[in-house]
Structure 1
Amino acid sequence: MINYIWFFMIFLGIIVALFTGNADKITEAIVNGSDGTVKFIIGLVGIMCFWSGVMKVAEKSGFTGKIAIVLRPILKRLFKDAAKDEKALGAIVMNITANMMGLSNAATPFGIKAMEEMDRLNKEKGTASNDMALFLVLNAACIQLVPTTIISIRTAAGSSNPGLIILPAIITTGIAAIVGVICCKVMQRHF
């Protein structure tokens, strides 16, 4: 549906420009917009490669494993059913740890595995369990210790201090995760 809406808006804009004599401005906007986008993406790719390397070093050095050790007792208290199953809890810990370190590409397979493991434990097939809902909320509001994507975007956009976002990101994602967990726990009692 959204494709139809975008097509309609673009088509209508072109028609209006043709009838008002502004077709040259549309062509100019397309060329300038494309040029700026390509330059931005090329700058972003280099920075993302750098941060991916830094995060890979953190992973290989065992730093992410140490975070996982700290998280395990906390997550055992949050997830009632998944805490009883080592496979499910292990996948949850690895997903959240990878997300916290900005390793979203590495976190995705762990997230899928965690959902599969929690679905295996789920008594009501086809309906998300409380643990599954909580996991989804924690993934959506995941605490970011190193927000590599935002730092990369700020760098590519020419920010004078792209790392300035780290403390606000930790605070806001931490608050979002806490509020999300509280909401899930309250809703679990009523539904």
Structure 2
Amino acid sequence: MGKIWFYMISIGIVGSIITNNLGELNKVILNEASKGVEFAISLAGVMALWMGIMNIAKDSGLIDKIGKKLNPIMRRLFPSIPKGHKAMSYMVMNMALNMVGAGNGATAFGLKAMEELQTLNNKKDTATNDMIMFLVINISSIQIIPFTMLKIRLDLGAQNPSDIIFTTLFATTMSTIIAVISCKLLQGRKR
């Protein structure tokens, strides 16, 4: 990925030199970099709030209760994870944060879930079906409240930033269902 970014930046710089737009490139870089920092700082509060809530939920046992309610679904999606394994609670926290649109906050729990799933992996250089299914669900991710998108729409002056909630929920639910079905079908194939 680093090489791709290097080539894209290099081509952009060389192209701006050839077209004599280096001054414009510098202006865009400086303006957009400051906008990126402003956005990251404004979003940090929302992320900190949700990370804090999820840690409280984990420490209070709420995540375990949610996990028990989701257990029938999680058992079907992740059949080879032993009952009570840490990976399951990290996956539940990751999915819950993704559902409320705090995707950046969910990353830490997703990484911990993958670490725990790796402890169950006999072939350390190959992803297990459970790892792949978790990644597929994580990427497609049902969004109940897309906080990041709402924040962007609010910052850009949308009259009603929450107009997208229903369509986002529908689209992400469909993408997750299709992703899970596709993953299950492909898991049954011989490699």
Structure 1 counterpart SS, 2:79: coil
Residue identity (%): 35
**Quick check: which has more Rg, 1 or 2?**
1
Mark the CA change 1:53 to 1:175 in structure 2 (over 3 Å): closer, same or farther: same
Moved more, 30-39 or 124-133: 30-39
What is the Cα deviation at residue 44 of structure 1?
A: 6.4
CA deviation digits over 1:5-27, x for unaligned, max 9? 4312322322222xxxxx5xx53
> How far 1:57 sits from its partner (Å)?
7.4
| Cα deviation, residue 39, structure 1 | 4.9
Question: Any stretches of 5+ residues in structure 1 without a counterpart?
Answer: 18-22
Provide the residue aligned with 2:116 in structure 1: 117
Give 1:38's aligned residue.
Answer: 34
SS of match in other structure, 1:170: helix
Q: 1:68·1:97 contact (CA, 8 Å) conserved in 2?
A: no
Whichever residue aligns with residue 12 of structure 1, its letter is: G
How many Å separate the matches in 1 of 2:92 and 2:33?
37
Alignment-derived partner of residue 128 in structure 1:
127
Q: TM (normalized to structure 1)?
A: 0.78
1:29/1:82 CA distance change after superposition, 3 Å:
same
- Separation in 1, partners of 2:104, 2:28: 31
Paired residue type of 1:16: T
In the alignment, which residue of structure 2 is the partner of 1:86?
A: 85
Displacement after TM superposition at 1:83 (Å)? 4.8
Q: CA RMSD in A?
A: 2.8
Q: 1:109 & 1:49 partners in 2: Cα distance? A: 14
Taking the aligned partners of 2:33 and 2:104, their CA distance within structure 1 comes to 23
Between 49-58 and 172-181, report the one with greater CA deviation.
Answer: 49-58
Deviation digits for residues 163-189 of structure 1 (CA, Å, limit 9, x no counterpart)? 112111111111111111101110111
Show structure 2 runs of 5+ residues with no match.
none
